Structure 1
Amino acid sequence: MQAVKQAVLLLAFGAPERIEDVDPFLHLVRGGRPAPRELREQMRLRYQAIGGGSPLGALTRRQAEALAERLAGRGWPLPVYWAMRNWRPFIQETLARVKAEEVERLIVICLAPQQTRASLGLYHRRVEQAQADLGLKAELVWATGLHNHPLLVEAFAEKLSPLAAGRRVVFTAHSVPVRLIEGGDNYDEQARGTAAAVAERAGLREWDFAYQSQGSTDEAWLGPSVESVIDGYAQQGLREFVLAPISFVADNLEILYDVDIALRDYALRRGLRLLRPQSLNDSPTFIAALADIALASLRRG
């Protein structure tokens, strides 16, 4: 019996589930600044191309359910909540449930394996603001260490290995503005570290690393770009390769559109076939990684 009522909260970026959600979603992502018409149209077309909306919300719910089941199986039957930074269920809505259910200690896990300080800071501010608005008294414990957890590495390697044999592999992470790295952020180190660990676990002797999904702003974004790596493969005479994203733990627009449609087409026009491992989603090995990270904090409660 727990002396203190504890629970876990999974946090994800959020994504629109329907085409009509795209505009309000962009409004939230941009902090209330109006999105240019061209951007709104572009994003609606992209979400239309992947079926009319993102599966991220449904997949995050499945991850939360699977984690609750895993924790219960390890002797910790407790609630696992989930919330989105930029969409429903909003952080404040979910923390209202936490308060109503009288949780006293909440373990918070951000589902992006690598985080810039700026991005992580936004999660902290959203949670802390909601906590203040609601008068939530629960202790918040921010769990860390996902990017290099052995079971996360194992989960990525499990998905990659069936495709990797005899093929060139390029690992990708979501690009960020160069100014963040120049300011001392260790995001690049974390992303490359995850890739190196997965490559070693999968037994790869040769592999590459690149950044995908650069923003549309005029500032410099972290590279090398995936497109430049694909161009190099074409010049080397390769005919196929594997692109393995390591900064997403569930299918989202950056996977289903940026990789499966845009980058696959870019490669095809240069005579290459792009293969991609399945996303982790509710992979049992990935859920075990989340359970380990949660338990490390729960046991201190």
Structure 2
Amino acid sequence: MLKQAVLLLAHGTPETVEQIPEYLRNVVSGRPMPQHVVEEIQQRYSLIGHSPLTELTLEQARLTEAELAQAGQAVRVYVGMRNWRPYIPDVVQQMRADGVEEAAVICLAPQNSRTSVGLYRRAALAEAGAMRIDFTDGWAEHPLLADAFAERLHDAQARMKAETGGYAPVLFTAHSVPARTVQPPAPDENHPRHWPGEGADPYEQDARTTAELVAMRVPEIPAWHFAFQSQGASGGPWIGPTVEEMLDSLASQSVKNLILQPIGFLCDHVEILYDVDVAFRRYAAGKGIRLERPESLNASATLARALADLAERGLKKLRTA
């Protein structure tokens, strides 16, 4: 029987503040990054102390492997990062050296953008050689993903009611992306540009779909809203509305308590520990809004079951193809 395995792909994060310039060069594919942007990101990392993305992703892999073993699938779950160690190409090479012949590959970005998720796909396929791969493009509608977020949101709403006497509206968020990466360019015969796939990119709708599925599972929510967070410093527009714009709007509606839940991230890292817990909380307070956040999924057993289910589907397709 062919030796199978699972590969989880994530963004990656540096271990130290000193590594951030090299890390950012990876993120922007070597393009020049203004020094003030580098220094700002270094400041954010220093304020949160450490980004735990790598260790949390490794723990998610361990839990997924345990779920698969419990279901009778004795396969190893590897982790590869796009922008930092362990790099995806190095991990795929190690898998081949370990004798892996087929792999179910899952990007830990549930909402699919053909441009960004496509980078993960290309990084894995580039080193696959004869190893056969089943790549999960997107899983924004997976019921266990929505269950996992809903569990965290239930707990946050219970705390909010105990402290304030009522439930709070929810602002769901996902990472923004440059508009040019998800919107097909206007036809230009003189400068043709390849667009990956037909029609609109699914990312924005995927993100809103996940939010809607979570909200349906938490009936105590009095109202919910959606925004894109963590817009970058690169030129050109990024998709919105921004969190700050939504906080302005909610403040004008006299909202005093708010729960913000990122549904595009599966574990704590700088976009949560700084952007949400520091920057957005400070901005909300300036508008008279108390902003709270549910615990991130991190080591959620329900998330591990979702990943194991996706892995089982991918491995089955490889066996029966």
Category of TM-score, reference length = shorter chain: over 0.9
After superposing the two structures, state which structure 1 stretch, 20-29 or 137-146, moved more: 137-146
Q: From 2, 16, 24, give the equivalent of 2:14.
A: 16
User: What pairs up with 1:48-127 in 2 under 5 angstroms?
Assistant: 48-51=46-49, 53-127=50-124
- Give the residue type in structure 1 aligned to 2:3: K
Kept in 2: contact 1:211–1:226 (CA 8 A): yes
Q: Could you give the per-residue CA deviations for residues 235-257 of structure 1, whole angstroms, max 9, x where no partner exists?
A: 22222100011000011111011
Q: Which residue of 2 aligns with 1:243?
A: 260
User: What pairs up with 1:1-301 in 2 under 5 angstroms?
Assistant: 3-51=1-49, 53-131=50-128, 136-164=129-157, 166-183=167-184, 184-203=200-219, 204-300=221-317, 301=319
After superposing the two structures, state which structure 1 stretch, 17-26 or 5-14, moved more: 17-26
Q: Which runs of 5 or more residues in structure 1 are unaligned?
A: none
Aligned residues between the structures = 294
Aligned partner of residue 75 in structure 2, secondary structure: coil
**Cα separation, 1, equivalents of 2:37 and 2:235:** 14
Q: Which residue of 1 aligns with 2:194?
A: none
Kept in 2: contact 1:59–1:281 (CA 8 A): yes
**Cα separation, 1, equivalents of 2:256 and 2:123:** 46
Identity in percent: 45
**Cα separation, 1, equivalents of 2:272 and 2:61:** 21
Please tell me the root mean square deviation across aligned C-alpha atoms, in Å: 1.3
Q: Which runs of 5 or more residues in structure 2 are unaligned?
A: 162-166, 185-199
Task: Give how far 1:299 is off.
Answer: 2.1
Task: Give how far 1:205 is off.
Answer: 4.8
What's the TM-score, normalizing by structure 1? 0.94
What's the TM-score, normalizing by structure 2? 0.89
Kept in 1: contact 2:267–2:297 (CA 8 A): yes
**Runs of 4+ off more than 3 Å:** none
Task: Give how far 1:128 is off.
Answer: 2.3
